[in-house]
Structure 1
């Protein structure tokens, strides 16, 4: 592909990306039940996409599993989170018994989707708008800078058998972008310099989530998880990085004080 051709989908991607940005920022800003409802819908649609990739012949099952996943996230506002966790794992358990192929892939990935959705809800409720915005900007900066650096600079591929468009230049550019986001928030909040390292780690987790979703699509023999978002494919194609980053952040919050204080 020529460099001019590599940007042929840019207008569509930017338009869809702007629409998602407006909806996402609106939900994050409002917080509370509106944000939880947004997460529940996104989780439900991602589980639906995953089920359609793993078992394309079972359309009815995909809808059922999506409803359970979205309902489990929504239920976390009315029941203790400890009781919501079994509900989050229920779609994976049902998939193990229902699907003939890729049942293990569905079980693991659907569990990650549910836990990541719950993690975003907890982050917004416990730490507020600023830190939810920080996480989103780390993931977005990783993706955007990686996209442009990979196409402008090019160079060796990161994992060509799974994601042939990913390059090491784009990967490193994502880390640098995340570090800049971390530095900006460190300079304007009470957080210490460890925030930069955490931002880079979340950038890496975001990229791992991206590559993992590419591996799932390759096993399923599809290019995109769905066609819900013009220029981006499906919600899994767009939020795969957020899945990895939010799950890692849940672990980080248990290991160190967050936000990290100055050393």
Structure 2
């Protein structure tokens, strides 16, 4: 009985996770495929919802402003991608500046995460707009593969925890499995994108950035004393819970784009 109970506890959320994941993946990949206005709108709405969730994780006195902060962040993300870089950054910083004054007692946590979310959203839209569908599909599959491999490897193999104080469920086996799967995705996308072997190592680095994004969100939830960022997605929690890895990987790619010009142009 104990073995059955342990197995049920270990995999009890799998059905809900799979069904919700399929719906979310279909919507996300459809938006990625469509690109342009549809993808920008999708990312902007997701950004607004994630910031709404972030604000709701703050103490009760802040929560009444969650809708306003979400709308402000979503609007800033939508506008910024249509502007030149010199104007995009100030637009993205407007919600953070307002949050700085609206949340004086919580600004040390809220403002950096708000900037992180907005810059990552800008990074995702930039990858799709500037480099085309293959590169955005690569990024999505690296993050998804890292998350799925980590979930199954961690539950099958277990072992030492990666960072137990912040994210008690993450294991080194799951972390390493995520890197391996991400490198496999990079290898598969080499002929699709025309990239060299460096894409394999970039994929591993993006996987690690994705895992750091997950851990960063776990730290906020632990500080807020909540299990999930919201209950928007059955079996998954909130959008922040599902997109935390994508936010981390998108920030990495945005930085690499600015420093090196990679990824190369669309194929």
Q: Distance in 2 between matches of 1:182 and 1:82?
A: 32
Equivalent-residue separation in structure 1 for 2:80 and 2:98 (angstroms)? 20
- Structure 2 CA distance for aligned equivalents of residues 94 and 82 of structure 1: 20
1:181 counterpart = 2:185: yes
Residue 100 of structure 1: how far off its partner (Å): 4.6
**SS class of match (1:195):** helix
Q: 1:56 aligned to 53, 60, 65, which one?
A: 60
Of residues 20, 37, 42 in structure 1, which corresponds to 2:41? 37
Contact persistence 1:69–1:87 (CA under 8 A): no
Structure 1 equivalent of residue 251 of structure 2 = 247
Deviation per CA, 1:195-249, whole angstroms, max 9, x where unpaired?
Answer: 0000000000000000000000000111100111110001110000001000000
Q: TM-score of the superposition, structure 1-length normalised?
A: 0.95
- If the length of structure 2 is used for normalisation, what is the TM-score? 0.94
2-structure distance, mates of 1:132, 1:224: 27
Matches of 2:45 and 2:59, distance apart in 1? 21
Conserved? CA contact 1:48–1:65, under 8 Å: yes
**Which deviations, in whole Å up to 9, do the C-alpha atoms of 1:176-212 show, x marking residues without a partner?**
0000000000143310000000000000000000000
Query: Matched residue of 2:226: which SS?
Result: coil
DSSP-derived class of the 1:18 partner: helix
1:198 aligns with 2:202: yes
2:241 match: 237
After superposition, the C-alpha distances for 1:59-99 in whole angstroms (9 at most, x for unaligned) are 33111111111111111354334223222122222222222
CA contact (8 A) 2:80 2:91 kept: no
CA RMSD in angstroms comes to 1.6
Aligned-residue offset at 1:254: 2.5
Q: In structure 1, what is the Cα distance between the partners aligned to 2:174 and 2:80?
A: 37
User: Does the CA-based 8 Å contact 2:81-2:122 persist in structure 1?
Assistant: no
The separation in 1 between residues aligned to 2:134 and 2:26, in whole angstroms, is 16
The more displaced of 24-33 and 88-97 is 88-97
Which has the larger displacement, 185-194 or 117-126?
185-194
Q: Name stretches of at least 5 consecutive residues in structure 2 with no aligned partner.
A: none
| Count of matched residue pairs | 261
What residue is the counterpart of 2:229 in the other structure?
225
Distance 1:189 1:118, change over 3 A: closer
Q: Residue 120 of structure 2 is aligned with which of 113, 116, 119?
A: 116
CA distance in structure 2 between the aligned counterparts of 1:257 and 1:197, rounded to whole angstroms: 16
Deviation larger for 122-131 or 75-84:
75-84
Indicate if the aligned counterparts of 1:89 and 1:111 stay in contact, CA closer than 8 A. Answer: yes
